[in-house]
Amino acid sequence: MAAPIDRSTRRLIAAFRYAFRGIGHLVHTQRNFQIHLLIGAIAVSLGVVLRIDRWEWLVLTLTIGLVLAAEGFNTAVEAVVDLVTREHHPLARIAKDVAAGTVLLCAITAVVVGVLLFGPRLWKLLTLLMT
């Protein structure tokens, strides 16, 4: 018979279950998260095809994670604000706008990273195909 699982281990397992449930919610209900996930998958595929090096993988992975995490926080902020009030309130608007703006900043950063990582390689490939 297996040893019983102690309380702290049960709490840890529950915490992971809640976290995966949250990720599942993002994947299944949040269109913008789905779009960012698709773009991230395309970027990873491009990284494989273009054979980016270890440091570039690090930058790409962190950038994709940053955008997805920002989208998750944005969704959480929107849910909490909607829970507190459905009325138009200046503070509710600020909270939602700042959260959305943060996602936009992360997405713009991701585009810049993508151009810096993939631009020279794609340009080189394009010039080879044109000659």
Which range of 15-19, 82-86, 122-126 scores highest in mean pLDDT? It is 15-19
CA dist list (Å): 49 to 7, 29, 42, 118: 46, 30, 10, 11
Whether 78 sits among the annotated catalytic residues: the reply is no
How confident is the model over 8-24, as pLDDT tens digits?
Answer: 999 999 999 999 999 99
Q: What are 60's two structure tokens?
A: 């790409």
Domain boundaries defined on the chain: 8-130
CATH architecture of 8-130: Orthogonal Bundle (1.10)
Q: How many residues does the chain have?
A: 131
Longest dimension (CA), the chain: 70
* Catalytic residue from among 56, 71, 78, 87: 71
User: What's the predicted TM-score (pTM) here?
Assistant: 0.90
Three-class DSSP category at 88? coil
